Amino acid sequence: MLRLEELQVVRGRTRVLHGLTLELGAGEIAALVGANGAGKTTTLMALSGLLPIACGRATLELESGTLDVARSTPAALVAGGLIHCPEGRQVFARLTIEENLRLGAYLNRDEAEVRRLLGEAYALFPVLGERRGLNAGGLSGGEQMMLAVARALMAQPKVLLLDEPSLGLAPQITERIFDTLVELNRERGVAMLIVEQNAMLALEIAHKGFVMEEGRIVMSGTGRALLEDAGVVQAYLGASA
């Protein structure tokens, strides 16, 4: 569904990605792990059209055809079903929960369908339904993460890019968020590429994993295989084990 071939990205005068190649199949969860500064967030930003691709190719395979990421605007990528849930949640603090959610469905002109999607979001995260009229800035960090995920789902994604979904959250809230991601993948078939500081947690739910170092993929395999690799454990999982 999502394919990167020899992707290179430059930020300022620095080449951050050096020939990145990976594939995310339909209905798969993939984890992108590595040390800070490895280029994980840059990868997601390039895929969502927020950073230009200097060289290489990134494509999104749709039933209607192939979408070239480098030649598409962020709006076109959203319309194609590629949705980015950015680091730090990025909710609109002065808007209500429901207004935030409706922004996720801004391309949808069918009000009945939007109301149906709102109902699904509130069923998935009941606390959002209970507080739908409150400003998002008054929510806790965990509740804002729930809102960010729910807002992304309002766009009915085929591929969901998630950047550090557990950042700053209590372990209990993190577990709930990840349980929800697994449920969405299993029941709705949403493919996911997850960048996550807690590499062990990400690999535990991932069908496949990719280890990044200095803008390159240096190791890949199933999530389970990477969890059982002594080198990966020593380099990336020690703090989480």
CATH number at 2-91+156-237: 3.40.50.300
Q: Which residues contact 154 (CB under 8 A, 6 or more apart)?
A: 101, 102, 103, 104, 105, 108, 114, 117, 118, 121
Q: Which residues contact 103 (CB under 8 A, 6 or more apart)?
A: 92, 95, 151, 154
> Distance (Å, rounded) from C-alpha 143 to C-alpha 1?
30
Domain ranges within the chain, ordered by starting residue = 2-91+156-237
Relative to beta strand 216-222, strand 55-62 is unpaired
pLDDT in tens, the chain (241 residues): 899 999 999 988 889 999 999 999 999 999 999 988 899 999 999 999 999 999 999 999 887 788 999 999 999 999 999 999 988 778 999 999 999 999 999 999 999 999 999 999 999 999 999 999 999 999 999 999 999 999 999 999 999 999 999 988 888 889 989 999 999 999 999 999 999 988 899 999 999 999 999 999 999 999 999 999 888 877 776 544 3
